[in-house]
Chain A
């Protein structure tokens, strides 16, 4: 059996900007993917659960292989904690089975609706980056379906260059088919959380730095509308796994965003009001508590389709990292620029990346501060704002995150990712994405 493709002219990424036409297949068995790869010389891109905001998961006019139907467990070794699974397995499904057994994924992004293949391809990070590094640091081996070669197993020992290219390789080194990842033992499904309100950027950054010593999870929500003395005010949100307590997995999303018409309500005033209210609430609820992992790690996952919030025109997400040696001044500059524009998002996030290196050639994190936030798509004015932010990031020798950025300028990519040429030599010639087409042009 091979893959059956059908025309789908409405494929979009999580940012919901533009719909692009593809030939789409959703296989259910790896053997089908392998058979198809062995006989096909067609341009393709394997995709996961489409939680990337950018065009890394699009390949207009080409064959798109949706791997979410291929998400079985293959084996688990309790002695080593290593799980082998098909690449379409979502973290959501993984946790439902493994949390009751006392295991968690070593690294999770802010949504559990990503596949293992997607986590590898974007080398995702989480609130614990300063302790555990990226997802790719915990991958023991993985298999690829490469055009002209068939199934290739890669690890840090065998085909190690291809392995390093695949971690953070945006799905361009072949179809990621299986992933072996070492899970993290947990004593309970609870996290001992501490929330601290900070009145300005210095307090917030000092708090983040101090928190890295004591907390496995450490992140800050930042009020991107605050100006002047309050610039960079926000809430530190940090925590450690509790050793004692129940081992209960999360439930299904309770709410859904039914429409994308609400975008009309989003303007600089409502944004400011929301951020003021959120900060005020944070001040009132400061302190320690014990929380299930779900609201702590996945606050947005409780609302299905939350990406509709930004309306029919979609939104940009912007995430940059500023190298450690540049300190916090570039972040201050970014926040000043954003606050002056009146644009920005409900939930802007600031975090310090640690120094644990990833094996990935195109891995995004590096030691320093990372800022992430959304911008509703308002056309040229949004693009102009993002260009101003780019200039600040570029001057600080920072870099942007491909998984997030629908308009990441190629020159910034080339500068930010010095191993780009080395990476390019490992690309499967049949794998194409719209993102890479832009970068390579």
Chain B
């Protein structure tokens, strides 16, 4: 029976992943902002077969990661997986003209996510087991005019998780970065005509579960995004700068 902490449990992808853990009888901590929503998610997960679901309602950027993780570990008798699934997409154009809002996005997507990751790593290193799974983004692979701030926070997180994976290897613990491509979620609901490259949150959640089991430090979800991003990364700058990507 796995003991799983989900940070940002109210997102489409996080909830879909939590359902898969619940189906297997996992114990779960759901951390997120809104207590009523967390309650709705928790009720569903209990009915699906979760053995124990706890709610931690609060602002993740203000909670104390180390204290929280210690508390949850005690409540569940340990932690096997920490899934970090929160992040804000933001509106690139608007953020460029509103630097305090840009700072808030960096604070959420990078500063707080990095500190939660490090707190989880500290715990897993001591426990000499456990898996940290962080949801990154293909947007972090190459800076583009349309979403480079979001992309930069995810790129920063990618290097951090890479370093944690290196650090945790001797202890037998793992840190994994999962980079979803286009996912049909609340974050992207306004985009019309979603084509063949779009995945459902359920599909991506399944790939996250797989990645957590395999333990390779970077996983694209689905895997073909590795190839797509390889191509995008190798487009020469003079050509790239003429695109509107």
Please list the residues of chain A having a beta carbon within 8 angstroms of any beta carbon in chain B: 1, 4, 6, 8, 10, 25-26, 28-31, 69, 72-76, 86, 97
Contacts and interface: CB of A to CB of B under 8 A. Distances in A.
Contacts of B43: 72-75
B192 interface: yes
Contacts of B197: none
A67 to B, nearest CB: 14
Interface string B32-59: 0010110011011001100000000000
B94 interface: no
Contacts of A1: 34
B242 interface: no
B125 interface: no
A72 B189 contact: no
30 contacts: A4-B189, A6-B189, A6-B190, A6-B192, A10-B193, A25-B189, A26-B186, A28-B186, A29-B10, A29-B34, A29-B36, A29-B37, A29-B40, A31-B34, A31-B36, A31-B37, A31-B40, A69-B12, A72-B40, A72-B41, A72-B44, A73-B43, A73-B44, A73-B47, A73-B48, A74-B43, A74-B47, A75-B43, A75-B47, A76-B47
A29 B32 CA distance: 14
Contacts, number: 45
- Please provide the 3 A-B residue pairs with the shortest distance between their CB atoms, ordered closest to farther: A72-B44, A6-B190, A73-B47
A1 to B, nearest CB: 8
Contacts of B186: 26, 28, 69
A4 B37 CA distance: 17
Contacts of A25: 189
B89 to A, nearest CB: 13
Contacts of B12: 28, 69
Interface string B189-208: 11011000000000000000
A74 B41 CA distance: 9
Contact of A26 (B40, B44, B47, B189): B189
Given A31-B36, A72-B44, 17 more contacts: A4-B190, A8-B192, A25-B189, A26-B186, A28-B12, A29-B34, A29-B36, A29-B37, A29-B40, A30-B40, A31-B37, A72-B41, A74-B40, A74-B43, A74-B44, A86-B40, A97-B48
Interface residues of B, number: 16
Contacts of B192: 6, 8, 10
A103 B190 CA distance: 37
A16 B151 CA distance: 39
Nearest to B33: A1
A333 B192 CA distance: 46
A25 B186 CA distance: 9
Interface of B: 10, 12, 34, 36-37, 40-41, 43-44, 47-48, 186, 189-190, 192-193
B94 to A, nearest CB: 15
A10 B193 CA distance: 9
A26 B200 CA distance: 14
Contacts of A6: 189-190, 192
Residue of B12, B43, B189 contacting most chain A CB atoms (<10 Å): B189
Nearest to A86: B40
Contacts of A69: 12, 186
B103 to A, nearest CB: 23
Interface centre among B12, B36, B40, B190 (most CB of A within 10 A): B40
Contacts of A28: 10, 12, 186
B186 to A, nearest CB: 6
Nearest to A72: B44
Nearest to B43: A74
A86 B47 CA distance: 13
Nearest to A70: B40
Contacts of A30: 40
B125 to A, nearest CB: 35
A115 to B, nearest CB: 15
A29 B37 CA distance: 7
A25 B37 CA distance: 18
A320 to B, nearest CB: 37
Nearest to A76: B47
Nearest to B49: A97
A236 B190 CA distance: 47
A30 B40 CA distance: 9
A164 to B, nearest CB: 28
A266 to B, nearest CB: 26
Contacts of B44: 72-74
Contacts of B37: 29, 31
B194 to A, nearest CB: 11
A6 B34 CA distance: 24
Contacts of B34: 1, 29, 31
A416 B189 CA distance: 40
Contacts of A97: 47-48
A393 to B, nearest CB: 39
Nearest to B47: A73
A30 B37 CA distance: 8
A441 B101 CA distance: 50
Nearest to A97: B48
Contacts of B10: 28-29
Contacts of B41: 72
A73 B47 CA distance: 7
Contacts of A29: 10, 34, 36-37, 40
A98 B76 CA distance: 27
Nearest to B184: A26
Nearest to A34: B36
A15 B48 CA distance: 34
A28 B37 CA distance: 9
Q: Which of A28, A29, A73, A97 has the most CB of B within 10 A?
A: A28
Nearest to B12: A28
B230 to A, nearest CB: 28
